[in-house]
């Protein structure tokens, strides 16, 4: 059985140390990265948490993108899921987002979705 989608999940650490961490993410910048990567945003919404932290979600024609910031823990996480997409295209978008935030440490994992484990 072939996969139904690709899910790229990432954690970024060390954003405070470099003075680049903001509670509110650059929504327009992230939207442009998705568009430049060949994805088609449909709707988006963000939420500022009190006292800090931010979540941003984009519904894509292909599926979704989300980012969540945790300033108190010096972490931002994001995931990008796309149905029937080229893995390399999704990986490139993820690495472009990584460059934009420039974390001191980054972990990322690509998961093929809809494939039975053996």
Q: Which residues are catalytic?
A: 63, 68, 83
Structure tokens, 42? 């449909």
Half-sphere exposure of 34 (CA within 13 A, CB side): 28
Structure tokens, 29? 């910048």
For the chain, the distance separating the N- and C-terminal CA atoms, rounded to the nearest angstrom, is 12
């Amino acid at each position: 059985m072939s996969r139904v989608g690709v899910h790229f999940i990432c954690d970024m650490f060390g954003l405070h140390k470099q003075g680049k961490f903001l509670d509110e993410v650059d929504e327009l910048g992230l939207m442009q990265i998705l568009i430049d990567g060949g994805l088609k945003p449909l709707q988006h919404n963000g939420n500022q948490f009190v006292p800090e932290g931010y979540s941003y979600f984009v519904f894509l024609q292909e599926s979704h993108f989300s980012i969540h910031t945790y300033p108190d823990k010096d972490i931002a996480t994001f995931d990008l899921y796309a149905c029937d997409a080229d893995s390399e295209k999704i990986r490139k978008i993820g690495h472009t987002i990584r460059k934009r935030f420039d974390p001191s440490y980054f972990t990322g994992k690509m998961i093929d979705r809809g494939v039975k484990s053996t």
